[in-house]
Amino acid sequence: MFVKKFGLTNSYLGLIIPYTTFALPLSIWLLVTFFRKIPFDLEEAAKMDGATPMQTYFKIILPLAVPGVFTTSILVFIAAWNEFLFALTINTAETYKTVPVGIAMFQGQYTIPWGEISAATVIVTIPLVIMVLLFQRRIVSGLTSGSVKE
């Protein structure tokens, strides 16, 4: 196993590498859709006005792609926040357990404390709900802007 060979078990870096490996294709797939939606004429107009490629990217392209960047970052964050399998197998020490693994460890040998598990689940979803509510307008515009093909 790659993680064990390089001594990445029971470390945050041991989780960051697989999370990045799974999040990168999703991010690229979503962001390509948003960047293709931006008209090439805007880049040509900026070039005609004397803008450098970096100025064109930061002042024209990136502001138009902000809804897509927000949507992608929130979807990737939610996927990493809810991930269970890597966190369970890579990190065996109690100090490196993630929240979903910690909630799964609530159960005992003969009992399952449903009340405590439900309360912990509600508390864990609060940051996600707050984040989605704060960026709701950007998420909706980001999800819908890359969906129509011309």
**Closest CA relative to residue 61, chosen from 38, 45, 27, 95:** 38
Confidence label for 115 from pLDDT (cuts 50, 70 and 90)? very high
Whole-number Å distance between alpha carbons of 83 and 72: 17
Percent of the chain past pLDDT 90, that is, above it, reads 19
CA-to-CA separations, 1 to 24, 28, 126, in angstroms, rounded = 21, 26, 35
**Closest CA relative to residue 19, chosen from 103, 68, 78:** 78
**Domains of the chain (ranges plus CATH)?**
2-145 (1.10.3720.10)
Query: pLDDT tens across 34-89, in order?
Result: 888 888 888 888 899 898 999 999 988 888 888 888 888 888 988 888 888 888 88
